[in-house]
Amino acid sequence: MSDVTTFSSPVETSSKGETGKISTVSFRGGGFAPIPVQGVGIAVFVVLIALAEIGTRSGFISNLTLPRPSAVLDTFVQLWQTGLLWKHLLPSLQRLFVGAFMGISVGIAVGVLIGLFSYVRAGLVPLVAALFPIPKIALLPLFVIWFGWSIVRKIVLPGAFPAILSGLRVSISIAIILLVAAEMLGAQYGVGSYILEAGSLYDLEKLFAGVTILSVMGLLVNFVIGQVEKRFLSWRG
């Protein structure tokens, strides 16, 4: 006897030899899809701030460990009124945007070259060393001559734009960290130097105010990049 087991066909047939209708089963993987919920993130922040305020006022949390959020808010008001907020924030923003612009310009030019030419990937290090002194914006007319503006504008740049924006999110976050470290080392004004001064004086209100400024900077940068994605990457659907 044969050990081969036969299975019946899932398609039922009628007595007249006609195939029956196959009923469709609805996809049940929708439960794993993220459901957008508005306001939850803000509610979490409000609850945490309220708990910190209650804990510090009741003495459950020592003021030497965590300052009262209301005291940090008062510090923000003082920074605004005295003009120290912009005195420290504007130099940091200037350094951040200038450095980001330079890095983005170099990164996009090198990335386009890597995407267009396979041999560039093999010889990336010597090629970058040779092209580094050249203004990268000057390479765009060369791409237009080689491939035509329509190819560069409609294929190369749109195809690379999602990767550019994804890398930009990570790069800007790292840039903020390095900016603070650099300002702590040698800057007279800046958010990093403000945080260093507050830490050396053990002024927790000023210290947390500076950290909050950095957090708001990161949130604003992510918001701007998100708006750029919605504006220029709407073709992805």
pLDDT in tens, 105-123: 877 787 777 767 777 677 7
Confidence of residue 54 (pLDDT cuts 50, 70, 90): very high
DSSP letters, 188-230, are SSSHHHHHHHHHHTT-HHHHHHHHHHHHHHHHHHHHHHHHHHH
User: What confidence score (pLDDT) does residue 220 get?
Assistant: 86
26 part of a folded domain: no
101 part of a folded domain: yes
Structural domains in the chain (count)? 1
User: What confidence score (pLDDT) does residue 236 get?
Assistant: 57
What's the average model confidence in pLDDT over 19-39? 61
2 part of a folded domain: no
Q: Which two tokens stand for residue 103?
A: 């890095």
Confidence of residue 4 (pLDDT cuts 50, 70, 90): very low
CA 58 vs CA 46, 135, 194: distances in Å: 18, 60, 29
180 part of a folded domain: yes
128 part of a folded domain: yes
207 part of a folded domain: yes
Residue 83, pLDDT > 50, answer yes
Average pLDDT taken over every residue of the chain: 73
Residue 14, pLDDT > 50, answer no
What's the average model confidence in pLDDT over 174-184? 79
What's the average model confidence in pLDDT over 10-36? 55
34 part of a folded domain: no
User: What confidence score (pLDDT) does residue 51 get?
Assistant: 92
Radius of gyration, CA atoms only, the chain: 29
Write down the pTM of the prediction: 0.58
Confidence of residue 176 (pLDDT cuts 50, 70, 90): confident
Residue 27, pLDDT > 60, answer no
Which of 47 and 230 is assigned the larger pLDDT?
Answer: 47
Q: Which domain holds residue 128?
A: 83-236
Residue 88, pLDDT > 70, answer yes
> Biggest alpha carbon distance in the chain?
96
CB 69 within 8 A of CB 53: yes
Residue 50: closest CA among 68, 25, 63? 68
Confidence of residue 170 (pLDDT cuts 50, 70, 90): confident
User: What confidence score (pLDDT) does residue 2 get?
Assistant: 47
133 part of a folded domain: yes
DSSP 22: P
